[in-house]
């Protein structure tokens, strides 16, 4: 194996690689809309064909929803890598905000460089193709693949992954590998590559408070009848104290302080807090006092109200005292915080704050603990150094404020750690009109995988 | 004039009076729906004809909306009474909940006595006809009318009365009288007649708090970006203290304590708090501590949240940190509380509670001070005694928790006090399917007016 020659081949193959990506981008694989079920099948078929052309034993696997694509191949032995991506894309509405047909991809010149413009260019077709293009160059240059490989593509990531857990459980033996690689995230910023090593968990809870048995007129009952909106606002307002800490009893059990090393390395990232906030019209950090910005985003738990409704909310005014008021509350979790223990404590706190004549009904929503990768295995540092070489700047271990459930499933169902490495940029407009993927992301992403594969299989 | 013979004639004329009311109830005078504009005209024409048959000079008067009906007549001299009612009715949907066609009125036998079932039977066609039937009996028995009269019927009461204030201002000289009689309210309970002598005022205010310039993802920004729903709940929760008092600075300026006499007379009414609350699924009074129930409803000011919205409120869950959150807040006012001063104080309080990076926009809604009738004039006590004679139980001076703007307009535009005397019952289902008016209300209401007219013109 000669890494330099593989990288050279990647450089030379870029025009052809972009053509292949654009072929895949033309397939309207919107998973959430049943009208596009045939397109999802077509995208899976396209990938099976492409994987077979790389010498992998690939097949489309049925699920109650859209198919999975699973492929195996490469020389027996360690390491055995599993690569995950998803071929489905977000819906495209509002279509009128797109500058061109979202499924007619084009390479465009922009002031910041060339981009591939299309729905799914960044999320996740462009990203998953970086891995396949790295394999293609490897195979062309060496006649074989770098190591034992399992490829696992899903077609329901943008619609809640209903088939994912059952499929992983039913095929656990087949899918197990030494480490998982997930390419569905971004660079730390446009120049700094990153491996995500911690993800926040998520707990969703909906509560509906009922007071009177029907809507009342505030002229007739106001001053005497309990108003569930007032009860709700009082409870929600009590979920944080004056310093921004969450008041749910026991909430901070299992919340670790970040170590000095982590703190220093995050400080070294030079996170541009001012522009991060400024981009969304803010000038000051809210939330817990006495924490650095990245700590707030990556390693501190939160409680947020994501929706609230009650009474009359149309145009004009109606002097109603409503029977009910509702809110959707979510918690981002870190460390070993226990989602179900927090759900129970939250419910108890709400119950205890209820005045007479009020009842509360809870609807549980998503629940998953935080994810913490064990970076002590050699693979993480090996991959980080490979990324550093490609990008010419120290690659970072970073956190992620969101929740990427697949990483947790690899751990809980298959017992594997996952490395989340991706090349998306903040301005890729994923889930929005005019999605794009930088040609630089595609090109250097492909080269990054070649380097990582070389390093891991050395 | 012989009151007993007039009352006897009223008794004897009930079948014919019910037929006339049912004629009027057959007219579909729904004011809010333009499809029924012709029916509103027809109702006004019907009333003009009926008033003319009583010897009054009646005419339909154009407005930008539905017409007013104005009539004058009766012997010159004091007192000069103005009688107000409205001929328009509420919409009838949901139609499927009606047991029969809402515009095919019928006298029905029920366990509680005979009722007239139709849209508008109680609100307000049945009520306004009590006055006309009293005049008809008077005229038939005496050949003349009891006193100088102005009749004023509106056709937009159920759709916000857009033409009312301009019409009253333009025709102020013509409409002025010594005292106004309004028949659009109810008995205190099914056996006790009442004159409403105080009405709460109303102030409506909508506020929208904006934080980030666009909706954010709580995984990406949660813990660091300000959440306007949290800001809103904190502000709204601070509008009352632990004893239920409103915290807006200056709010209680102009709020009188009720006198001992009023308190005793309200206590004597034996208000059935338990069944009032029990009917709507409540068991305990909320609101200000240390007040009697009728005091809370009639003579204490309130602050209520009538609507709240923000973020994602559909099915399922979305981990959004919204850009905006809104609420509709209303205040019921008493005594000499100044609506615009309270509006200003409320806005200042909200502004002062806003954290950095948040802005608030206010939309003013209805505003009107409380109404307090001057019951020291002889007319009130004269009318109260006449009601007491008819019903055989002491008639009460009561308050009203709601706001009946017309009473305030008679005072502010025409300088007249208004006596609100009506015969509706709590179970009349006004504004709801299967509206009814008790034949007892219609019959004794008519007799009540005959007695009141006799007493006032004596």
Q: What is the 3-state secondary structure (H, E, C) of A402-448?
A: CCCHHHHHHHHHHCCEEEEECCECHHHCCCCCCCEEEHHHHHHHHHH
Q: Please give the pLDDT value at position A236.
A: 98
pLDDT over threshold 90, residue A217: no
Determine the average pLDDT of the residues in A82-109: 95
Chain A residue with minimal CA distance to B330? A319
Q: Please give the pLDDT value at position B346.
A: 98
Mutate to test the interface with A, among B209, B304, B339 (most CBs of A within 10 A): B304
Q: Please give the pLDDT value at position B168.
A: 97
> CA-to-CA distance for B419 and A29, rounded, in angstroms?
71
Q: Which of B214, B309, B402 sits opposite A309 (nearest CB)?
A: B309
Determine the average pLDDT of the residues in B58-73: 98
% chain B with pLDDT above 70:
100
pLDDT tens digits, B37-61: 999 999 999 999 999 999 999 999 9
A chain contacts of residue B300, beta-carbon cutoff 8 Å:
223
Contact B244, B287 (CB under 8 A): yes
Alpha helices in B216-286 (DSSP H): 218-221, 228-237, 260-268, 273-278
Determine the average pLDDT of the residues in A234-246: 96
CA angle B402, B403, B408 (to 5 degrees): 150
Check CB contact under 8 Å for B206 and A236.
no
Query: How far away is chain A from the Cα of B270, in angstroms, using its nearest Cα?
Result: 17
Q: Please give the pLDDT value at position B68.
A: 98
Q: Please give the pLDDT value at position A1.
A: 67
**Cis amide prior to A25 (ω within 30 degrees):** no
Check CB contact under 8 Å for B330 and A319.
yes
Check CB contact under 8 Å for B356 and A283.
yes
Strands B148-154 and B68-73: antiparallel
pLDDT over threshold 90, residue B374: no
pLDDT over threshold 90, residue A366: no
pLDDT tens digits, B282-316: 999 999 988 999 999 999 999 999 999 999 998 88
Task: List the 205-224 stretch of B: residues with Cβ below 8 A of A.
Answer: 206, 211-214, 216-224
Query: How far away is chain A from the Cα of B371, in angstroms, using its nearest Cα?
Result: 14
- Mean pLDDT rounded to a whole number for chain B: 95
Q: Which of A219, A311, A402 sits opposite B219 (nearest CB)?
A: A402
Contact A316/B at CB under 8 A: yes
A chain contacts of residue B316, beta-carbon cutoff 8 Å:
365
Determine the average pLDDT of the residues in A279-296: 93
pLDDT over threshold 90, residue B458: no
> CA-to-CA distance for B196 and B399, rounded, in angstroms?
5
Q: Please give the pLDDT value at position A191.
A: 92
Task: List the 140-159 stretch of B: residues with Cβ below 8 A of A.
Answer: none
Query: Please, what are the domains in chain A?
Result: 3-199+370-456 (3.40.630.10), 201-255+301-368 (3.30.70.360)
Question: What residues have CB less than 8 Å from B371, skipping those under 6 apart?
Answer: B198, B199, B201, B403, B404, B407, B408, B411
Question: What residues have CB less than 8 Å from A214, skipping those under 6 apart?
Answer: A323, B280, B281
pLDDT over threshold 90, residue B367: no
Q: Please give the pLDDT value at position B1.
A: 67
Determine the average pLDDT of the residues in A242-250: 96
Check CB contact under 8 Å for A216 and B286.
no
B chain contacts of residue A313, beta-carbon cutoff 8 Å:
307-309, 326, 328
Closest listed residue to residue B246, CA positions, set B189, B194, B205 = B205
- Mean pLDDT rounded to a whole number for chain A: 95
Check CB contact under 8 Å for B225 and A280.
yes
> CA-to-CA distance for B131 and B82, rounded, in angstroms?
11
Binning pLDDT at 50, 70 and 90, where does residue A360 land? very high
Binning pLDDT at 50, 70 and 90, where does residue A23 land? very high
pLDDT over threshold 90, residue A219: no
Determine the average pLDDT of the residues in A203-216: 95
Q: Please give the pLDDT value at position B402.
A: 86
pLDDT over threshold 70, residue B396: yes
pLDDT tens digits, B72-104: 999 998 899 999 999 999 999 889 889 999 999
In which residue are the tokens 């009405």 written? B199
Q: Quick count: other Cβ atoms within 10 Å of Cβ A330?
A: 27
Of A43-47, A91-95, A281-285, A338-342, the range with the lowest mean pLDDT is A91-95
Contact B450, B6 (CB under 8 A): yes
Determine the average pLDDT of the residues in A345-354: 98
Contact A306, B312 (CB under 8 A): yes
Chain-centroid distance, C-alpha B91 = 17
**Separation in Å, CA A433 to CA A360, A424, B317:** 40, 16, 22
A chain contacts of residue B403, beta-carbon cutoff 8 Å:
219
Check CB contact under 8 Å for A305 and B223.
no
Residue A69 host element (H or E): strand A68-73
> CA-to-CA distance for B151 and B68, rounded, in angstroms?
10
Determine the average pLDDT of the residues in B396-401: 93
Q: Which of B306, B355, B366 sits opposite A286 (nearest CB)?
A: B355
Binning pLDDT at 50, 70 and 90, where does residue B400 land? very high
Chain A residue with minimal CA distance to B239? A230
Q: Please give the pLDDT value at position A398.
A: 95
Query: How far away is chain B from the Cα of A395, in angstroms, using its nearest Cα?
Result: 20
Mutate to test the interface with A, among B200, B224, B274, B425 (most CBs of A within 10 A): B224
Alpha helices in A186-227 (DSSP H): 218-221
Task: List the 282-311 stretch of A: residues with Cβ below 8 A of B.
Answer: 282-288, 293, 296-297, 300-302, 304-311
% chain A with pLDDT above 70:
100
Q: Please give the pLDDT value at position B390.
A: 98
Check CB contact under 8 Å for B282 and A328.
no
What count of CB pairs under 8 Å joins A to B?
Answer: 263
Check CB contact under 8 Å for A325 and B318.
no
Contact A388/B at CB under 8 A: no
pLDDT over threshold 80, residue A435: yes
pLDDT tens digits, A317-337: 888 899 999 999 999 999 999
Task: List the 415-444 stretch of A: residues with Cβ below 8 A of B.
Answer: none
Q: 3-state class of A151 per DSSP?
A: strand
Determine the average pLDDT of the residues in A286-293: 92
Q: Which of A232, A284, A308 sits opposite B309 (nearest CB)?
A: A308
Determine the average pLDDT of the residues in A211-227: 91
Best-predicted range by mean pLDDT (B8-17, B313-322, B368-377, B401-410): B8-17
Chain B residue with minimal CA distance to A367? B317
Contact A408/B at CB under 8 A: no
């Amino acid at each position: 194996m000669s890494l330099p020659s593989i990288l050279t081949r990647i450089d030379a193959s870029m025009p052809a690689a972009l053509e292949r990506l654009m072929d895949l981008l033309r397939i309207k694989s919107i998973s959430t809309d049943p009208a596009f079920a045939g397109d999802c099948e077509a995208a899976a078929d396209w990938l099976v064909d492409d994987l077979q052309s790389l010498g992998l034993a690939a097949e489309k696997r049925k699920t109650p929803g859209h198919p999975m694509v699973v492929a195996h191949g490469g020389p027996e032995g360690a390491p055995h890598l599993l690569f995950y991506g998803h071929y489905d894309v977000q819906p495209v509405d509002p279509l009128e905000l797109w500058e061109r047909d979202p499924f007619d991809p084009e390479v465009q010149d922009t002031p910041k460089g060339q981009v591939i413009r299309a729905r799914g260019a960044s999320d996740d077709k462009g990203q998953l193709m970086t891995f396949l293009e790295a394999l293609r160059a490897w195979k062309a240059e060496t006649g074989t693949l770098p190591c034992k490989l399992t490829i696992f593509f899903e077609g329901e990531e943008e619609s809640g992954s209903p088939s994912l857990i059952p499929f992983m459980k039913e095929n656990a033996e087949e899918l197990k590998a030494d480490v998982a690689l997930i390419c569905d995230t971004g660079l730390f910023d446009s120049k700094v590559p990153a491996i995500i090593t911690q993800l926040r968990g998520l707990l969703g809870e909906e509560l509906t408070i009922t007071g009177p048995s029907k809507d009342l007129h505030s002229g007739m009952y106001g001053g005497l009848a309990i108003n569930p909106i007032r009860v709700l606002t009082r409870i929600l307002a009590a979920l944080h104290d004056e310093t921004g800490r969450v008041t749910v009893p026991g909430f901070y059990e299992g919340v670790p302080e970040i170590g000095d090393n982590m703190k220093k390395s995050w400080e070294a990232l030079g996170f541009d807090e001012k522009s991060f906030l400024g981009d969304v019209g803010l000038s000051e950090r809210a939330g817990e006092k006495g924490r650095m910005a990245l700590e707030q985003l990556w390693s501190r738990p939160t409680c947020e109200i994501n929706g609230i409704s009650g009474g009359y909310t149309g145009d004009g005014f109606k002097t109603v005292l409503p029977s009910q008021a509702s809110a959707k509350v979510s918690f981002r979790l870190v460390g070993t915080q226990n989602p179900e223990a927090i759900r129970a404590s939250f419910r108890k706190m709400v119950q205890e704050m209820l005045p007479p004549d009020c009842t509360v009904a809870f609807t549980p929503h998503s629940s998953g603990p935080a994810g913490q990768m064990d970076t002590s295995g050699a693979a993480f540092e090996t991959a980080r150094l490979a990324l550093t070489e490609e990008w010419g700047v120290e690659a970072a271990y970073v956190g992620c404020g969101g929740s990427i459930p697949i990483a947790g499933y690899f751990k809980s169902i298959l017992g594997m750690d996952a490395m989340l490495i991706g090349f998306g940029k903040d301005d890729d407009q994923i889930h929005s009109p005019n999605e794009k993927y930088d040609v630089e992301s595609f090109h250097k992403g492909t080269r990054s995988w070649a380097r990582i594969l070389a390093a891991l299989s050395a």
